[in-house]
Chains A and B, each alone.
Chain A
Amino acid sequence: MSVETEVLWLDERRVVSLEELVQVSGLTRAELLELVHCGALPVREERGASYFFAAQTISVARTASRLRDELELDVTGLGVALRLLERVRGLEEEITRLRALLPRS
Protein backbone atom coordinates (compact mmCIF):
# COMPACT_ATOMS: atom_id res chain seq x y z
CA MET A 1 0.00 0.00 0.00
CA SER A 2 1.30 3.46 -0.80
CA VAL A 3 0.55 6.70 1.01
CA GLU A 4 0.41 10.06 -0.72
CA THR A 5 3.60 11.85 0.16
CA GLU A 6 4.63 15.43 0.85
CA VAL A 7 5.79 17.24 -2.29
CA LEU A 8 7.99 20.32 -2.02
CA TRP A 9 8.17 22.60 -5.05
CA LEU A 10 11.69 23.74 -5.78
CA ASP A 11 10.74 27.25 -6.85
CA GLU A 12 10.95 30.84 -5.71
CA ARG A 13 8.06 30.61 -3.22
CA ARG A 14 9.99 28.75 -0.57
CA VAL A 15 13.29 29.68 1.01
CA VAL A 16 15.90 27.30 2.35
CA SER A 17 18.69 28.02 4.80
CA LEU A 18 22.38 27.46 4.14
CA GLU A 19 22.26 24.56 6.61
CA GLU A 20 19.44 22.88 4.69
CA LEU A 21 21.39 23.37 1.47
CA VAL A 22 24.42 21.69 3.06
CA GLN A 23 22.24 18.76 4.13
CA VAL A 24 20.54 18.09 0.79
CA SER A 25 23.22 19.08 -1.74
CA GLY A 26 26.27 17.15 -0.58
CA LEU A 27 28.39 20.31 -0.80
CA THR A 28 30.20 21.57 2.29
CA ARG A 29 29.32 24.85 3.96
CA ALA A 30 32.68 26.28 2.83
CA GLU A 31 32.06 25.25 -0.80
CA LEU A 32 28.57 26.75 -0.78
CA LEU A 33 29.84 30.00 0.72
CA GLU A 34 32.54 30.22 -1.92
CA LEU A 35 29.93 29.72 -4.67
CA VAL A 36 27.83 32.46 -3.04
CA HIS A 37 30.78 34.83 -2.91
CA CYS A 38 31.67 34.27 -6.57
CA GLY A 39 28.03 34.96 -7.54
CA ALA A 40 27.19 31.46 -8.79
CA LEU A 41 24.50 30.91 -6.13
CA PRO A 42 22.16 33.87 -5.70
CA VAL A 43 21.17 34.68 -2.10
CA ARG A 44 17.49 35.46 -1.57
CA GLU A 45 17.79 36.99 1.91
CA GLU A 46 20.48 37.76 4.43
CA ARG A 47 19.38 37.72 8.07
CA GLY A 48 22.33 38.73 10.17
CA ALA A 49 25.11 36.32 9.27
CA SER A 50 22.65 33.75 7.88
CA TYR A 51 21.95 33.23 4.19
CA PHE A 52 18.64 32.07 2.74
CA PHE A 53 18.06 30.89 -0.83
CA ALA A 54 15.09 30.31 -3.12
CA ALA A 55 14.25 26.60 -3.06
CA GLN A 56 15.26 26.08 -6.70
CA THR A 57 18.84 26.70 -5.54
CA ILE A 58 18.70 23.12 -4.20
CA SER A 59 18.75 21.86 -7.82
CA VAL A 60 21.67 24.15 -8.69
CA ALA A 61 23.65 23.07 -5.62
CA ARG A 62 22.99 19.39 -6.32
CA THR A 63 24.22 19.89 -9.87
CA ALA A 64 27.37 21.48 -8.46
CA SER A 65 27.82 18.53 -6.13
CA ARG A 66 27.56 16.05 -9.02
CA LEU A 67 29.99 18.06 -11.15
CA ARG A 68 32.45 18.15 -8.24
CA ASP A 69 32.24 14.40 -7.64
CA GLU A 70 31.96 13.13 -11.20
CA LEU A 71 34.07 15.62 -13.18
CA GLU A 72 36.46 16.39 -10.32
CA LEU A 73 35.91 20.16 -10.61
CA ASP A 74 37.23 22.47 -7.91
CA VAL A 75 35.11 25.34 -6.59
CA THR A 76 36.46 27.81 -9.16
CA GLY A 77 35.54 25.37 -11.95
CA LEU A 78 32.13 24.82 -10.36
CA GLY A 79 31.48 28.57 -10.32
CA VAL A 80 32.29 28.86 -14.03
CA ALA A 81 30.28 25.73 -14.90
CA LEU A 82 27.21 26.93 -12.96
CA ARG A 83 27.30 30.35 -14.63
CA LEU A 84 27.58 28.76 -18.09
CA LEU A 85 24.78 26.30 -17.33
CA GLU A 86 22.59 29.21 -16.21
CA ARG A 87 23.34 31.02 -19.48
CA VAL A 88 22.50 27.87 -21.47
CA ARG A 89 19.26 27.49 -19.51
CA GLY A 90 18.30 31.11 -20.27
CA LEU A 91 19.08 30.66 -23.97
CA GLU A 92 17.08 27.43 -24.12
CA GLU A 93 14.11 29.20 -22.52
CA GLU A 94 14.39 31.94 -25.14
CA ILE A 95 14.50 29.35 -27.95
CA THR A 96 11.40 27.63 -26.50
CA ARG A 97 9.59 30.98 -26.34
CA LEU A 98 10.54 31.89 -29.93
CA ARG A 99 9.60 28.41 -31.20
CA ALA A 100 6.21 28.77 -29.51
CA LEU A 101 5.58 31.76 -31.80
CA LEU A 102 6.18 29.73 -34.93
CA PRO A 103 3.16 28.13 -36.58
CA ARG A 104 2.98 24.36 -36.14
CA SER A 105 2.73 23.53 -39.86
Chain B
Amino acid sequence: MKYSDYYAALGVERGASQDEIKKAYRRLAQKYHPDVSKEPDAEARFKEIAEAWQTLKDPAKRAAYDELGKRPQGEEFRPPPDWTRQHAGGEGQFAFEDMDFADLFSRFGSRRGGGGPFAGEAGGMPGQDFEIPVEIALEDAFRGTTLELQLQMPEYDESGRLRRVPRTVKARIAPGAVDGQRLRLPGKGGKGFHGGRDGDLYLDITLKPHPLYRATDHDLYVDLPLATWEAALGASVEVPTLAGAVSLKVPAGTTSGRKLRLSGRGLPKPQGGAGDLFAVAQIVVPSQLSERERELYESLRQASGTNPRSHFAEHA
Protein backbone atom coordinates (compact mmCIF):
# COMPACT_ATOMS: atom_id res chain seq x y z
CA MET B 1 0.00 0.00 0.00
CA LYS B 2 1.03 3.63 -0.42
CA TYR B 3 1.67 5.89 2.55
CA SER B 4 -0.58 8.97 2.95
CA ASP B 5 0.68 12.05 4.78
CA TYR B 6 -2.48 13.06 6.67
CA TYR B 7 -0.93 16.15 8.23
CA ALA B 8 0.10 17.45 4.79
CA ALA B 9 -3.42 16.73 3.47
CA LEU B 10 -4.85 19.05 6.13
CA GLY B 11 -1.96 21.54 5.88
CA VAL B 12 -1.04 21.33 9.57
CA GLU B 13 2.14 20.53 11.51
CA ARG B 14 2.52 17.05 12.99
CA GLY B 15 2.35 18.60 16.45
CA ALA B 16 -0.90 20.49 15.74
CA SER B 17 -3.53 20.53 18.49
CA GLN B 18 -6.88 18.74 18.01
CA ASP B 19 -8.50 22.17 17.72
CA GLU B 20 -6.10 23.23 14.94
CA ILE B 21 -6.78 19.96 13.10
CA LYS B 22 -10.54 20.45 13.41
CA LYS B 23 -10.34 24.04 12.13
CA ALA B 24 -8.15 22.97 9.20
CA TYR B 25 -10.58 20.18 8.29
CA ARG B 26 -13.61 22.50 8.46
CA ARG B 27 -11.91 25.16 6.34
CA LEU B 28 -10.84 22.68 3.66
CA ALA B 29 -14.11 20.69 3.77
CA GLN B 30 -16.12 23.85 3.07
CA LYS B 31 -13.83 24.65 0.14
CA TYR B 32 -13.64 21.19 -1.42
CA HIS B 33 -16.84 19.34 -0.45
CA PRO B 34 -17.95 17.90 -3.81
CA ASP B 35 -21.61 18.73 -3.20
CA VAL B 36 -20.87 22.45 -2.93
CA SER B 37 -17.46 23.02 -4.55
CA LYS B 38 -16.74 23.92 -8.16
CA GLU B 39 -12.98 23.41 -7.78
CA PRO B 40 -11.82 21.14 -10.64
CA ASP B 41 -10.18 18.57 -8.32
CA ALA B 42 -12.72 18.89 -5.50
CA GLU B 43 -13.72 15.23 -5.35
CA ALA B 44 -10.17 13.86 -5.12
CA ARG B 45 -9.05 16.62 -2.74
CA PHE B 46 -12.02 16.10 -0.43
CA LYS B 47 -11.36 12.36 -0.34
CA GLU B 48 -7.82 13.03 0.94
CA ILE B 49 -9.04 15.59 3.46
CA ALA B 50 -11.86 13.38 4.80
CA GLU B 51 -9.55 10.36 5.05
CA ALA B 52 -7.03 12.41 7.04
CA TRP B 53 -9.76 13.79 9.30
CA GLN B 54 -11.24 10.35 10.03
CA THR B 55 -7.90 9.29 11.48
CA LEU B 56 -6.54 12.46 13.06
CA LYS B 57 -9.78 13.43 14.85
CA ASP B 58 -9.59 10.26 16.95
CA PRO B 59 -6.72 10.61 19.48
CA ALA B 60 -6.12 6.84 19.61
CA LYS B 61 -6.05 6.49 15.81
CA ARG B 62 -3.85 9.56 15.57
CA ALA B 63 -1.36 8.08 18.07
CA ALA B 64 -1.25 4.84 16.08
CA TYR B 65 -0.76 6.80 12.85
CA ASP B 66 2.09 8.78 14.44
CA GLU B 67 3.75 5.53 15.48
CA LEU B 68 4.16 4.70 11.78
CA GLY B 69 6.54 7.66 11.51
CA LYS B 70 6.82 10.32 8.83
CA ARG B 71 7.38 9.05 5.31
CA PRO B 72 7.24 10.59 1.85
CA GLN B 73 3.70 10.85 0.43
CA GLY B 74 2.94 7.87 -1.81
CA GLU B 75 5.89 5.74 -0.65
CA GLU B 76 5.28 1.96 -0.86
CA PHE B 77 4.77 0.85 2.70
CA ARG B 78 3.80 -2.07 4.93
CA PRO B 79 3.08 -1.58 8.65
CA PRO B 80 5.48 -3.39 11.02
CA PRO B 81 4.06 -6.68 12.43
CA ASP B 82 4.16 -5.28 15.98
CA TRP B 83 2.05 -2.32 14.98
CA THR B 84 -0.53 -4.50 13.20
CA ARG B 85 -0.69 -6.92 16.12
CA GLN B 86 -1.15 -4.11 18.62
CA HIS B 87 -3.71 -2.00 16.74
CA ALA B 88 -5.59 -4.07 14.22
CA GLY B 89 -5.84 -7.69 15.18
CA GLY B 90 -2.65 -9.02 13.59
CA GLU B 91 -1.30 -9.46 10.08
CA GLY B 92 -3.75 -12.25 9.32
CA GLN B 93 -6.54 -9.66 9.24
CA PHE B 94 -5.13 -7.96 6.16
CA ALA B 95 -4.25 -8.65 2.58
CA PHE B 96 -1.90 -5.65 2.30
CA GLU B 97 -1.34 -5.93 -1.42
CA ASP B 98 -5.08 -5.40 -2.08
CA MET B 99 -5.58 -2.51 0.33
CA ASP B 100 -5.58 1.25 0.44
CA PHE B 101 -3.96 3.09 3.33
CA ALA B 102 -7.46 4.26 4.34
CA ASP B 103 -8.63 0.62 4.65
CA LEU B 104 -5.97 0.08 7.29
CA PHE B 105 -7.44 2.77 9.51
CA SER B 106 -11.04 1.87 8.79
CA ARG B 107 -10.21 -1.48 10.43
CA PHE B 108 -8.26 0.19 13.19
CA GLY B 109 -9.28 -0.64 16.72
CA SER B 110 -10.91 -3.92 15.78
CA ARG B 111 -9.24 -5.40 18.84
CA ARG B 112 -10.63 -2.71 21.09
CA GLY B 113 -13.71 -4.19 22.70
CA GLY B 114 -12.92 -7.56 21.14
CA GLY B 115 -15.23 -9.91 19.29
CA GLY B 116 -14.23 -9.08 15.72
CA PRO B 117 -14.67 -6.06 13.52
CA PHE B 118 -18.44 -5.78 13.75
CA ALA B 119 -19.12 -7.08 17.22
CA GLY B 120 -22.25 -5.53 18.63
CA GLU B 121 -23.67 -4.46 15.22
CA ALA B 122 -27.31 -5.52 15.23
CA GLY B 123 -28.15 -7.33 11.97
CA GLY B 124 -24.54 -7.22 10.74
CA MET B 125 -22.68 -4.43 9.00
CA PRO B 126 -24.29 -2.98 5.87
CA GLY B 127 -22.10 -2.70 2.79
CA GLN B 128 -20.83 0.69 1.69
CA ASP B 129 -22.71 2.70 -0.94
CA PHE B 130 -20.68 3.97 -3.88
CA GLU B 131 -21.44 6.86 -6.20
CA ILE B 132 -19.52 7.07 -9.46
CA PRO B 133 -19.66 9.50 -12.38
CA VAL B 134 -20.31 7.96 -15.81
CA GLU B 135 -19.99 9.82 -19.11
CA ILE B 136 -22.01 8.54 -22.07
CA ALA B 137 -22.28 9.66 -25.69
CA LEU B 138 -25.38 11.51 -26.83
CA GLU B 139 -26.06 8.71 -29.32
CA ASP B 140 -26.06 6.20 -26.42
CA ALA B 141 -28.48 8.37 -24.45
CA PHE B 142 -30.71 8.41 -27.54
CA ARG B 143 -30.64 4.69 -28.34
CA GLY B 144 -29.89 3.28 -24.89
CA THR B 145 -26.72 1.45 -23.98
CA THR B 146 -25.25 -1.20 -21.73
CA LEU B 147 -22.47 -0.01 -19.44
CA GLU B 148 -19.87 -2.47 -18.28
CA LEU B 149 -18.27 -1.00 -15.18
CA GLN B 150 -14.97 -2.34 -13.87
CA LEU B 151 -14.84 -1.55 -10.16
CA GLN B 152 -12.53 -2.24 -7.23
CA MET B 153 -14.72 -2.87 -4.17
CA PRO B 154 -13.54 -3.25 -0.57
CA GLU B 155 -14.83 -6.57 0.73
CA TYR B 156 -14.36 -8.77 3.77
CA ASP B 157 -13.63 -12.41 3.02
CA GLU B 158 -14.97 -15.30 5.09
CA SER B 159 -12.25 -14.91 7.68
CA GLY B 160 -12.97 -11.20 8.00
CA ARG B 161 -9.90 -10.02 6.04
CA LEU B 162 -10.43 -6.75 4.23
CA ARG B 163 -9.32 -6.66 0.61
CA ARG B 164 -10.17 -4.87 -2.64
CA VAL B 165 -11.67 -7.16 -5.22
CA PRO B 166 -12.33 -6.44 -8.89
CA ARG B 167 -16.02 -6.54 -9.83
CA THR B 168 -17.74 -6.07 -13.14
CA VAL B 169 -21.23 -4.62 -13.12
CA LYS B 170 -23.32 -4.56 -16.28
CA ALA B 171 -26.09 -1.98 -16.34
CA ARG B 172 -28.59 -1.53 -19.14
CA ILE B 173 -29.43 2.16 -19.54
CA ALA B 174 -32.75 2.58 -21.32
CA PRO B 175 -33.07 5.38 -23.92
CA GLY B 176 -33.66 8.86 -22.52
CA ALA B 177 -30.91 9.53 -19.99
CA VAL B 178 -30.12 13.24 -19.70
CA ASP B 179 -27.25 15.20 -18.27
CA GLY B 180 -27.42 14.96 -14.47
CA GLN B 181 -29.56 11.79 -14.49
CA ARG B 182 -28.93 9.61 -11.46
CA LEU B 183 -29.43 5.87 -11.41
CA ARG B 184 -29.47 3.44 -8.50
CA LEU B 185 -28.28 -0.16 -8.73
CA PRO B 186 -29.55 -1.78 -5.53
CA GLY B 187 -27.18 -4.18 -3.83
CA LYS B 188 -24.29 -3.50 -6.23
CA GLY B 189 -22.18 -1.49 -3.77
CA GLY B 190 -19.92 -2.95 -1.09
CA LYS B 191 -20.80 -6.37 0.34
CA GLY B 192 -22.51 -6.45 3.71
CA PHE B 193 -20.91 -8.47 6.47
CA HIS B 194 -22.39 -10.82 9.05
CA GLY B 195 -25.84 -10.62 7.46
CA GLY B 196 -25.84 -6.86 6.78
CA ARG B 197 -27.43 -5.77 3.52
CA ASP B 198 -25.22 -5.08 0.50
CA GLY B 199 -24.64 -1.41 -0.31
CA ASP B 200 -25.99 0.31 -3.41
CA LEU B 201 -24.19 1.67 -6.44
CA TYR B 202 -25.24 5.09 -7.73
CA LEU B 203 -24.36 6.31 -11.22
CA ASP B 204 -24.23 10.05 -11.99
CA ILE B 205 -24.70 10.39 -15.74
CA THR B 206 -23.17 13.18 -17.78
CA LEU B 207 -23.37 13.50 -21.55
CA LYS B 208 -20.19 13.89 -23.56
CA PRO B 209 -20.04 17.11 -25.58
CA HIS B 210 -21.22 16.47 -29.15
CA PRO B 211 -19.70 18.16 -32.22
CA LEU B 212 -23.16 19.07 -33.61
CA TYR B 213 -25.77 19.04 -30.88
CA ARG B 214 -26.11 20.85 -27.57
CA ALA B 215 -28.42 19.13 -25.08
CA THR B 216 -30.56 20.74 -22.42
CA ASP B 217 -32.75 18.24 -20.62
CA HIS B 218 -34.46 16.27 -23.44
CA ASP B 219 -34.23 19.09 -26.00
CA LEU B 220 -31.40 19.40 -28.50
CA TYR B 221 -30.06 22.46 -30.31
CA VAL B 222 -28.14 22.48 -33.57
CA ASP B 223 -26.74 25.43 -35.55
CA LEU B 224 -28.42 25.79 -38.93
CA PRO B 225 -26.19 27.81 -41.29
CA LEU B 226 -28.28 29.55 -43.99
CA ALA B 227 -27.19 31.49 -47.07
CA THR B 228 -28.58 35.03 -47.16
CA TRP B 229 -31.00 34.18 -49.99
CA GLU B 230 -32.25 31.04 -48.16
CA ALA B 231 -33.03 33.20 -45.11
CA ALA B 232 -34.66 35.95 -47.20
CA LEU B 233 -36.59 33.83 -49.66
CA GLY B 234 -37.21 30.68 -47.64
CA ALA B 235 -35.88 27.23 -48.47
CA SER B 236 -36.21 23.57 -47.80
CA VAL B 237 -33.01 22.29 -46.17
CA GLU B 238 -31.78 18.99 -44.80
CA VAL B 239 -31.12 18.90 -41.06
CA PRO B 240 -29.28 16.05 -39.30
CA THR B 241 -31.07 14.42 -36.36
CA LEU B 242 -29.97 11.53 -34.14
CA ALA B 243 -32.42 9.32 -36.07
CA GLY B 244 -31.25 10.45 -39.52
CA ALA B 245 -31.58 13.55 -41.68
CA VAL B 246 -34.98 15.24 -42.12
CA SER B 247 -36.18 18.01 -44.40
CA LEU B 248 -36.98 21.36 -42.76
CA LYS B 249 -38.91 24.21 -44.33
CA VAL B 250 -37.20 27.50 -43.56
CA PRO B 251 -39.77 30.33 -43.76
CA ALA B 252 -38.99 33.39 -45.86
CA GLY B 253 -37.62 36.25 -43.78
CA THR B 254 -35.87 34.03 -41.23
CA THR B 255 -33.58 36.10 -39.03
CA SER B 256 -30.32 35.00 -37.44
CA GLY B 257 -30.90 33.28 -34.08
CA ARG B 258 -34.46 32.23 -34.90
CA LYS B 259 -35.29 28.79 -33.49
CA LEU B 260 -37.00 26.39 -35.88
CA ARG B 261 -38.56 23.53 -33.96
CA LEU B 262 -38.52 19.91 -35.09
CA SER B 263 -41.06 18.42 -32.75
CA GLY B 264 -40.16 15.12 -31.05
CA ARG B 265 -36.68 14.95 -32.63
CA GLY B 266 -34.80 15.39 -29.36
CA LEU B 267 -33.95 12.76 -26.77
CA PRO B 268 -36.66 10.22 -25.91
CA LYS B 269 -38.34 10.60 -22.54
CA PRO B 270 -38.48 7.49 -20.34
CA GLN B 271 -42.17 8.10 -19.67
CA GLY B 272 -42.90 8.29 -23.43
CA GLY B 273 -42.62 10.98 -26.07
CA ALA B 274 -39.46 12.90 -26.80
CA GLY B 275 -37.93 16.33 -26.50
CA ASP B 276 -37.64 18.65 -29.47
CA LEU B 277 -34.76 19.53 -31.77
CA PHE B 278 -34.27 23.24 -32.32
CA ALA B 279 -32.38 24.35 -35.43
CA VAL B 280 -30.97 27.80 -34.65
CA ALA B 281 -30.62 29.90 -37.81
CA GLN B 282 -27.16 31.34 -38.46
CA ILE B 283 -27.01 33.52 -41.55
CA VAL B 284 -23.72 33.01 -43.35
CA VAL B 285 -22.26 35.85 -45.38
CA PRO B 286 -19.62 34.87 -47.93
CA SER B 287 -16.20 36.19 -46.96
CA GLN B 288 -15.16 36.45 -50.61
CA LEU B 289 -17.41 37.42 -53.53
CA SER B 290 -17.06 36.54 -57.17
CA GLU B 291 -17.49 39.36 -59.68
CA ARG B 292 -20.99 38.18 -60.49
CA GLU B 293 -21.99 37.94 -56.82
CA ARG B 294 -20.68 41.43 -56.17
CA GLU B 295 -22.81 42.78 -59.04
CA LEU B 296 -25.89 41.07 -57.67
CA TYR B 297 -25.32 42.38 -54.14
CA GLU B 298 -24.81 45.92 -55.56
CA SER B 299 -28.10 45.61 -57.46
CA LEU B 300 -29.81 44.38 -54.28
CA ARG B 301 -28.46 47.35 -52.32
CA GLN B 302 -29.86 49.80 -54.84
CA ALA B 303 -33.22 48.03 -55.13
CA SER B 304 -33.78 47.26 -51.45
CA GLY B 305 -35.70 49.58 -49.18
CA THR B 306 -34.57 47.72 -46.07
CA ASN B 307 -32.94 49.74 -43.29
CA PRO B 308 -31.89 47.26 -40.55
CA ARG B 309 -31.03 50.18 -38.21
CA SER B 310 -34.25 52.17 -38.52
CA HIS B 311 -34.98 51.75 -34.80
CA PHE B 312 -31.81 53.70 -33.92
CA ALA B 313 -33.47 56.94 -35.02
CA GLU B 314 -36.60 56.18 -32.99
CA HIS B 315 -34.69 55.81 -29.73
CA ALA B 316 -31.71 58.14 -30.18
Contacts and interface: CB of A to CB of B under 8 A. Distances in A.
A67 interface: yes
Given A24-B200, A67-B33, A101 B182 contact: no
A72 B214 contact: no
B309 interface: no
Given A2-B148, A4-B146, A70-B50, A9 B183 contact: yes
Contacts of B148: 2
B271 interface: yes
Contacts of B200: 24
Q: Interface centre among B131, B200, B216, by most A CB within 10 Å? A: B216
Contacts of A11: 181, 270
Size class of the contact patch on chain A: 20 to 34
A8 B282 contact: no
A44 B171 CA distance: 28
Interface stretch (B13-21, B84-92, B184-192): B184-192
A81 B29 contact: no
B259 interface: yes
Interface string B155-187: 000000000000111111110000101111110
A92 B29 CA distance: 23
Nearest to A72: B26
B35 A85 contact: yes
Contacts of A36: none
Given A9-B270, A93-B216, A100-B214, A85 B171 contact: no
A39 to B, nearest CB: 19
Interface string B128-154: 010100000000000000101000000
B270 A5 contact: no
Contacts of B169: 2, 5
B30 interface: yes
A71 interface: yes
Contacts of B29: 70-71
A5 B185 contact: yes
Interface stretch (A27-35, A45-53, A55-63): A55-63
Nearest to A12: B271
B258 to A, nearest CB: 11
A13 B36 CA distance: 27
B216 A59 contact: no
B274 interface: no
A85 B36 contact: yes
Contact of B33 (A8, A71, A96, A105): A71
Contacts of B131: 62
B215 interface: yes
Contacts of B232: none
Nearest to A98: B216
Interface string B182-206: 1111101000000000001010000
Interface string A64-94: 0011001110000000010001000000010
Contacts of A105: 223
Interface string B278-292: 001010000000000
B221 interface: yes
